Amino acid sequence: MGFLDKVKEQASAATAAAKDAAAKGQSKLDDIQSNRAADAMLRDLGALSYGSVTSRESATSESDASRIVDALRAHESEHGQLSLDLESPVGRQGA
């Protein structure tokens, strides 16, 4: 095998490794964005629940809650089950 063939082979291997790393990085980024979207929906659902408990719900609260729950179910079917563990210090006090 000639020198140029070895260089081409090494370059090809480096390119494949770079593409693999880029694909893994993109997958991780997609996961992070997906988790942020789910967190935002859960926060919105919590805000609607808080509004209901404090008698500050809007005229569209019920339909908004249904829409968000449907979106969360779709998210779970695509990305897997969400963790429902309480995360705030106040929420974890009862645990």
For the whole model, what pTM was predicted?
Answer: 0.72
At 40, list the tokens.
Answer: 């935002």
Q: Give residue limits of the domains in the chain.
A: 18-78
Each residue of 16-53: pLDDT tens digit?
888 888 888 988 999 999 999 999 999 999 999 999 99
pLDDT band at 95 (very low <50, low <70, confident <90, very high): low
At 23, list the tokens.
Answer: 């694909």
Residue matched to tokens 């629940």: 49
Contacts of 45 (CB under 8 A, 6+ apart): 65, 68, 69, 72
At 70, list the tokens.
Answer: 């449907």
